Structure formats: C-alpha cells, structure tokens
Amino acid sequence: GNSQLGATIVDALDTLYIMGLHDEFREGQEWIDKNLDFSVNSEVSVFEVNIRFIGGLLAAYYLSGQEVFKIKAVQLAGKLLPAFNTPTGIPWAMVNLKSGVGRNWGWASAGSSILAEFGTLHMEFVHLSYLTGDPVYYNKVMHIRKLLQKMDRPNGLYPNYLNPRTGRWGQHHTSVGGLGDSFYEYLLKAWLMSDKMDTEARKMYDDAIEAIEKHLIRKSNGGLTFIGEWKNGHLERKMGHLTCFAGGMFALGADGSRDDKAGHYLQLGAEIAHTCHESYDRTTLKLGPEAFKFDGGVEAVAVRQNEKYYILRPEVIETYWYMWRFTHDPKYRQWGWEATQAIDKYCRVSGGFSGVKDVYSSSPTYDDVQQSFFLAETLKYLYLLFSNDDLLPLDNWVFNTEAHPLPVLH
C-alpha cells in the first residue's frame, strides 16, 4: 500500500523475541501501540496483510502474551472482511482499508483471484476465531475450502486462477511456486495446526501432491529433481526460488502421508533441497536466482536476465531448516552457513541488507530494497537452523507462510 504501515516492524517482531532481543522487541511494541493505525485510505493486498501483519501480530501475541498484538490483529482482520463480499465468497486480491472496496489485479487471468492468495488465509483466520470466539473468520475460510472441494480439477491439479464472480477457473496454469505455493502449504498446516484432527485438509493435501508429483515433478538429465510449471497441458521445465519451499513442505508432510510413504516424501524433500542448493552453488555469488531452467543442457541455472536477481528470499534456507530438523544431516547446516556468508558478503549495505540484481555477476548492483520477509523469515530460519530443536518444537508450533509461529490448537 501507499501508507506507512510499518511492515518491517510488525514482520520482525517474533524474530526479535525468539533471538532474545527484548529491548528491540519492546521498541517495536511501543511503535505498534502508538502508531499502527489501519483506518487509512490505502489499498492493500489481502494476502500480504494477512501473512505479514496478522500472522506477525498473532505470533507476537502468542510468544509474549501482550494483549496489544491481539487487539491490533483483530482490528486489522475486521478491515479485510469486506474483501469477501463477492458473488462466490472468494475474496478480492486487494481491498481499500477505509472504504472496503475490493478488486483484483489487472494482470490476473480473466479477472481472477489467485489460488496462493485466497488459499493462504486459513491458519490466521482459524486462530482469529479461536481467540475471539467469533466464528466469522473460520466461516470465511471454510467456505473457500468447500467451494474448492466441489470443483473439477483438470488432471487433478488446481489452477492458479479462479474468478470470484463466476466461480470458474481462469487459465489452466498450475504452480508450486508463485501464484500457487502457499495454498498447498496451508492444506498441510491446517491439518497439523488442528492437532491432526482436520483430516479433510490432509486429504486435500495428499490428493494435490499426488497430482503434482505425477504431472510437475521430473528428473533432469543430470539427475536433479525439479518441480516445473504446468501451462495448459504443457510442462515448462523451469523452477522458481519460491518453489524451493516445497522441499521443507514434503518433509513436514512425510509423517502421516498416505500409504505410509513417509520415507518417499522425506527423500523427495532431500532431492528438492539438493537441487535448490545447486541453483545457489552454480552462481558467482553463491546466492540463488529467482528462477532456473532444466532445458537444452542447462541445469539449475537462470537463463533470462530478468530471472537472475536475489531479493533476500527465504525458501531455500527454510527447506534446509526443515530437512535439518527431520534428518540432522550436517550438510544442511553447512549449506545454510554458505548462504549466510554470501548474504553477509554481497547483500550487506550501510543501512541494512539489499537484494542484488544479478547473482552471476562478480560486481553485483543492489536493488536498494530490504524486503520485510528478510527479518521475518530468512534470518529466523537461519537462527533456527543453528539452534537446538527445543526452540519452537514442530509438535507444538506451526509456522505460517511468512515464518510466524502459531501454536497447535489441541
């Protein structure tokens, strides 16, 4: 949005808390108490506000017990509710926080909402209903789920686009990276967060992953397992940095998988982690590109200039951390340390950290942006990778897609 909403402060709060930086945490809390105000005439992304602000505030509340975070999260959620006023109940991508008017991105297929956006509200909204006793949030996300369950899926795959007016799919594109990613993640995490009671979510996850494995996951000539993008019946042999989170997801979902294929999914997670590590290792800066190909002799390397950037994204480190938790193979700490050193060497600037425009260039230029997920996710996952397993054990905590830990609801 165009307002000063303090995304970095909110997104970083729980990282500060987990790292024991309590003075900085208190400063953040004070700022939020005095300045965080959602009655602004600003159009925001429902998804981004949910995962970064509501997720960040809820995690800060659960970790610290400070009421102000809960109050602000609930106020903000109220401002997002008008986005659900569509003919189908599938929310608009954007909403004006003051007027409540919603709309979709101009670039999305046939006026559609995006799967990874309307499908990444479940964890936070279930917690909002739990904390307030008001079922309105729960009902909104369960309505989305029911609607999705009723729809036909081409080849068993969920397309990235769904029109909120007609309830019909847009283009038949499927991705485990951008536009699709966290929808699959939240199916699995809805089950985990419910203490494994929400078996409907687990079934949807298992069905989706089976179709993805069949149609999107391949091995390159050089033996690298990759997840491609499905475009109208054709597989594009390209994988995004965003897709690399799936290694961790497969490992997290291994336990409880259908037909007891736990070993298979842990192995798949390890293969994705390896491929994503290769995408880092094959660059000059040892930082991964935004997207990389497996085509015509090219393996795990970006081809187009506009896919060579690294914007401090967390997904590869996230997967290293999950793989570390489940296997304790020291290579994951080694790979995490390589990434840490590269970030410190090439992304550190006087005012913080910056994205770089070309990971294959020995003299990189900066994009001059420190994304809020750098503090929320990248540094948190690195910190956890080098911490003991009893810091936020996965039996008790489920991380939202922005790495904000929410407790399992027993």
> Which active-site residues does the annotation give?
48, 181, 290, 315
Least Å from the CB of residue 315 to ligand DMJ: 6
Region for 4 from its dihedrals, namely left if φ exceeds 0, alpha if ψ lies in -120 to 50, beta otherwise = beta
Measured from the CB atom, the residue of 182 and 275 that comes closer to ligand DMJ is: 182
Reduced to 3 DSSP states, what percent helix, strand and coil does the chain have, rounded to the nearest 5?
50, 15, 35
182 binding ligand DMJ? (CB under 6 A)? yes
Whole-number minimum distance, CB 345 to ligand DMJ, in Å? 21
Please report, as residue ranges, which positions from 99 to 128 form the binding site for ligand DMJ (by CB under 6 A). none
* Binding map of ligand DMJ across residues 189-228, x = CB under 6 A, - = no contact: ----------------------------------------
User: C-beta of 404: minimal distance to ligand DMJ in Å?
Assistant: 10
> How near is the Cβ of 47 to ligand DMJ at its closest, in Å?
8
Q: Which is nearer to ligand DMJ, 112 or 401 (CB)?
A: 401
Contact assessment for residue 275 and residue 225, using Cβ atoms and an 8 Å cutoff: yes
Rounded CA-CA distance 289/299 in Å is: 13
CA distance 377 to 75: 24
Residue with smallest beta-carbon separation from ligand DMJ: 401
Question: Rule CB under 6 A: which of 335-394 touch ligand DMJ?
Answer: 373, 377
Choose among 269, 241, 183: nearest CA to 377: 241
Task: Please report how close the Cβ of residue 314 comes to ligand DMJ at its closest, in angstroms.
Answer: 6
Q: Which is nearer to ligand DMJ, 189 or 325 (CB)?
A: 189
At 208, which helix (H) or strand (E)? helix 199-215
- Contacts (Cβ under 8 Å, ≥6 apart) of 195: 408, 409, 410
Q: Name the nearest CA neighbour of 103 among 151, 114, 182.
A: 114
Site for ligand DMJ, residues 223 to 252, rule: CB under 6 A: 242
* Two tokens, residue 365: 């230029």
Asked if residue 401 belongs to a known ligand binding site, the reply is: yes
Among candidate residues 410, 403, 407, the one with its CA nearest the CA of residue 55 = 403
Give residues 48-67 in contact with ligand DMJ (rule: CB under 6 A).
Answer: 51
Q: Which of residues 275-334 bind ligand DMJ (CB under 6 A)?
A: 313-314
List the end-to-end C-alpha distance of the chain, in Å, as a whole number.
36
DSSP-assigned states of every residue in 129-146: HHHH--THHHHHHHHHHH
CB of 313 to ligand DMJ, least distance (A): 4
Closest CA relative to residue 246, chosen from 281, 287, 205: 205
Residues in contact with ligand DMJ, counted by CB under 6 A, come to a total of 10
| CA 196, 201, 207, 210 torsion-angle sign | negative
The H-assigned helical ranges of 227-330 are 245-254, 262-281, 315-327
- Closer of 188 and 242 to ligand DMJ (Cβ): 242
Min separation Cβ 30 and ligand DMJ, Å: 25
Looking only at the bridges linking them, the beta strands covering 238-240 and 291-295 are antiparallel
**Across the strands, what pairs with 352?**
349
Residue 38 or 373 having the CB closest to ligand DMJ: 373
Please say which residue, 51 or 108, places its beta carbon nearer to ligand DMJ. Answer: 51
Q: Which is nearer to ligand DMJ, 189 or 313 (CB)?
A: 313
Tell whether the torsion through CA atoms of 75, 394, 403 and 293 is positive or negative. negative
CA 105 – CA 93 distance, rounded (Å): 7
Q: What is the CA radius of gyration of the chain?
A: 20
Which residues participate in the annotated binding site for Ca(2+)? 401
Contact residues for ligand DMJ, defined by CB under 6 A = 51, 181-182, 242, 313-314, 373, 377, 401-402
Which residues participate in the annotated binding site? 401
